[in-house]
Structure 1
Amino acid sequence: MTDSGTGSIPGRTPAWRYAIGMFGTSIPISMIKGSMILYYVDILGLDVRAYGVVMVIYAVIDAVDNPLLGHLSDRTRSRFGRRRPWLLVGAPMLVACMIAFFSAPASLRGAGLVLWFAVFAILCEAFDSMLNANYGALLPELYPKERDRAVANGLRQGFQLLALVISLAVTPLLTTEVFGTEESTEGFRTTAVIYGVVALAVIVFMALGARENPRYSTREQPLLLRSLWSIVRNPMFWTVGLTGACYGIAMALVLSGVQLYVRYSLGLPVGNALFLQGVVILVSAGGLAVWTRVVARRGALWTWRLAFAVLAAGFAALFFATGLVTAIAAGMLVGAGWSGMLATNDLIVARVLDADATRNGEHREGLFLSAFGFFARLNGIVTGLALTSLGVFFGYNSGDDPGTSTGLAFRVYLCVYPFALTVAGAVAARFISVPIEPPPTAAEPVEPPPAGPADESAVEGPR
């Protein structure tokens, strides 16, 4: 039974303490994804073709190690729980790798620069996956009812947006004006150290306060191959995963390219990305309460579909922006759609996890979320290919060889590609059904039901 006033299980983690963990997990990876192109390609001169190859390789590696990390988490049995040990180990490792990522020696060129970038990009993504698989697995466990889950998710997405204000909107100002310059790298290293210390403190605070359900850890440890086979045979894994990837890849393109969009497409100093990103994030934060109320009235599925459409409209408007003011106006629409996706996407995934636990009698949220992470790994492949395409179509190969159509190149990267992806997601979402919200007892371990026609899960169809 949950406490509707706090959205938490009595005697367990309050919703706010769980939610603040999203602040710590978001700062490092958001700085990495938001600044890697500017740092490595535009300032250090890494060729976009090398960048694209590395992104494909690291996405493949990450797609393999993600399910393994989730499975190990599900099988962990300790007096500290299943998730907390991984959170406490992964946090300092991610911070250390992030600092190294933004500390590339100035003397590195050619293959040496590519190797440094590849090693620390892969390590950062691996430890980020370790953190988020375990952190995300706590949501359906601590908050089994969708109303309470929506509150906790809304709070954590609010903390994520606060982290994004700092790690994305403020970062260009810190790296290029406060601690460094437009053409130097010193500011990135200093900023990474500051963000790393803050992130580590927050994650440890959240993890030490997390109170996992001990009944989930007393079950028989799930087997890897059998569990994976069960997941990949689940049609909802593919439909929800691929549709959600349309949103995830679109936002990955935006976060990685907005600083260069400001520099080349709008013709402004990179520091102005503070205002564009800040407005988008603030609108998203303000919209979370509105979208959460819509979820309560119309359901997660209906709201998810609407958010896809709003986000697509925002990208279309952003393409036609000619200056900072018009870009901010379009960015407000992007922020509104993004807010809706933040409020609903994890709820759709959690419904799939609920159905899996009810159907199979095993709580393997870590493995299931990590398997969904396979679709998130497509982000790296697509962003790498998208950046490489700018060299093919517009002649942008690096900051040293930008070509003659750089402004249009980054309009395509930041607006056209995300628009196409979100339109595809909006269309696909219209054909998706998800399981209905289970009763509270469905969150407790149960024996697997007998196979047969009666075993078919109820689904929530179009409203």
Structure 2
Amino acid sequence: MDAEHAASGAPASEPPATSARAGTPAHPSTSPMRYGVGMFGTSLPINLVKGSMLYVYVELLGLDAVVYATVYAVYGVLDALDNPVFGHLSDRTRSRWGRRRPYLVTGALVLACTTIALFSVPGPVADSAVGLAVWFAVFAITTEMADSLINASYGALLPELFTHERRRATANAVRQGAQLIALVIALALTPVLARNVLGTEGSTVGYGRLAVIFAVVAATVILWTAFGVREDPALDAEPKPLFFRSIGQILSTSHFWTVGVVNACYGSAMALVLGGLQLYVHHTLGGSALDASILQLVVIVVAIGMLSVWAAVVRRKGAAWTWRLALPVAAVGFVPMYFATDLTTGILAGLAVAVGYSGVLATNDLVIARVLDADAARYGTHRSGLFLAAFGVLGRLNGLVTAAALASLALWFGYRSGADPGPDPGQAFRVYLSLYPFALLVVGTTVSRFIRLPAAPQETGSPDGPDAGPGTDPDPGPTAGSGAEPVTR
């Protein structure tokens, strides 16, 4: 058994991937490792942004929290709107370089430049309230757009490159592992690296230097993955999806609304955690930069370790069953965060978060991939980019949730910035990092109980698959009278 199959427990003897359409010769397959490692590059800069942008701009540079929340609300709306555009362009592209590769390459270069600019605020700009707000708005939004451009294509490749769930699970395990390693660096190590190694406490210099390093590394990794992807040329023969017709069909799909809402709840909860953890450690736990790094490192390392446990549950019970289990576990995991008072109790609470977080990571993309398979089978064309982008419209509206949560701290607790933290910033970020994520995941858990998911690709039509039974659609193909035939794989 090689390392790639060992990551997910898939047998080494699994047959190689074949062409997406019957009757066409198999195309050269993409290594799950080559594809999966790319997520290290996509995750490194954007998690620096999500994990440190609030701290740098509000706590260190003194940007008013209400101004930050306003810009972040615009950020969330634009993030939602540009996703379908980028996804649709990717689906319709036909070029000698493939459909997805041109956007991965372009996005990697743009993301590197905007990330550096976001964390390298010139002195005169930082000294002007208006100038700081404008700089933040411009580069936060352009960084978001570059991230959307990359992920519209990168996410679409998972169901298209790996058409069997076991091989798909291998690729997903590799990429989630790569994402967690990026989280170790971009979240857990960033406070110490930026405030003790590359810079000093209370200064933004270290964050600027770290942004340069992360941007260069991320671009290199994304480009390495992009040039190693082997897209199926048979997909180029499919009709190009029409935007408005596709949007109408996607919006009429029940899974878009149900799975999409669950995904949005999970994404919003984690966005609050990523953005507020350094402030939670500082104000609620009374910790230092080193304490913030230790807490995040422990949580992420445990999450990495738990991936193999959750993968074993997926192999035994199926992705859908495991997904429904992971969501309430993740919700309950946030409760202890409310009662933590120091680093030790914070770490113990963080372990509970890590268990549920890892479970959703191990299953969420597999559930979404089933929805994409069913859509391709029903309508005869792969439009994974647009469908994922449509999910992103719901999921990336977490910017609005983050903005509302931050604004509520100003309203209820008087927290406006590091210079004006209000009478009880500790309680403010206790609520922000515990009660808000818990409430969001409770909503997601409730919705998940009413969803009937398509069967896994190799289980379609088989009543004995691990997910067969209540809560699972045994036939994800076209409905009666639709006139569409499933695509044979």
TM-score range relative to shorter protein: over 0.9
- More displaced 10-residue stretch of structure 1: 153-162 or 432-441: 432-441
Preserved contact between residue 145 and residue 440 of structure 1 (Cα < 8 Å): no
Alpha-carbon distance, 1:107 to partner: 2.4
In the superposition, relative to structure 1, how do residues 362 and 408 fare at CA in structure 2: closer, same or farther (>3 Å)? same
1:284 matches 2:303? yes
* 2:323 corresponds to: 304
Distance in 1 (alpha carbons) for counterparts of 2:341 and 2:57: 27
* 2:80 corresponds to: 63
* 2:202 corresponds to: 183
* 1:322 corresponds to: 341
* 2:17 corresponds to: 9
Preserved contact between residue 176 and residue 271 of structure 1 (Cα < 8 Å): no
Alignment of 1:361-440 (within 5 A): 361-439=380-458
Distance in 2 (alpha carbons) for counterparts of 1:24 and 1:366: 19
CA-to-partner distance for each residue in 1:79-99, whole Å, 9 max, x for gaps? 111001110111010010000
Alpha-carbon distance, 1:398 to partner: 0.7
Distance in 2 (alpha carbons) for counterparts of 1:207 and 1:152: 15
* 2:139 corresponds to: 120
Residue in structure 1 matching 2:369, options 328, 332, 350:
350
Alpha-carbon distance, 1:453 to partner: 7.5
Preserved contact between residue 265 and residue 395 of structure 2 (Cα < 8 Å): no
Structure 1 runs not aligned, ≥5 long: 443-447, 458-463
- More displaced 10-residue stretch of structure 1: 49-58 or 409-418: 49-58
Distance in 1 (alpha carbons) for counterparts of 2:13 and 2:296: 31
CA-to-partner distance for each residue in 1:4-47, whole Å, 9 max, x for gaps? 52876373211111100000000000000000111000000111
Preserved contact between residue 152 and residue 385 of structure 2 (Cα < 8 Å): yes
Preserved contact between residue 6 and residue 14 of structure 1 (Cα < 8 Å): no
Q: Percent identity?
A: 55
Residue in structure 2 matching 1:103, options 115, 120, 124:
120
Alpha-carbon distance, 1:106 to partner: 2.5
Residue in structure 2 matching 1:145, options 156, 164, 174:
164
In the superposition, relative to structure 1, how do residues 194 and 376 fare at CA in structure 2: closer, same or farther (>3 Å)? same
Alpha-carbon distance, 1:440 to partner: 9.1
* 1:82 corresponds to: 99
Alpha-carbon distance, 1:148 to partner: 1.5
TM-score, with normalisation over the residues of structure 2?
A: 0.89
CA-to-partner distance for each residue in 1:59-88, whole Å, 9 max, x for gaps? 112211110100000011111110011101
* Length, aligned pairs only: 451
* 2:355 corresponds to: 336
* 2:268 corresponds to: 249
Preserved contact between residue 169 and residue 275 of structure 1 (Cα < 8 Å): yes
Preserved contact between residue 307 and residue 358 of structure 2 (Cα < 8 Å): yes
Preserved contact between residue 260 and residue 270 of structure 1 (Cα < 8 Å): no
Structure 2 runs not aligned, ≥5 long: 19-27, 462-476
1:27 matches 2:44? yes
Distance in 1 (alpha carbons) for counterparts of 2:330 and 2:231: 35
CA-to-partner distance for each residue in 1:169-195, whole Å, 9 max, x for gaps? 011011111111221111011000011
Preserved contact between residue 161 and residue 232 of structure 2 (Cα < 8 Å): yes
2:17 counterpart letter in structure 1? I
Alpha-carbon distance, 1:335 to partner: 0.6
Residue in structure 2 matching 1:264, options 274, 283, 300:
283
Preserved contact between residue 151 and residue 292 of structure 1 (Cα < 8 Å): no
TM-score, with normalisation over the residues of structure 1?
A: 0.94
RMSD after superposition: 2.0
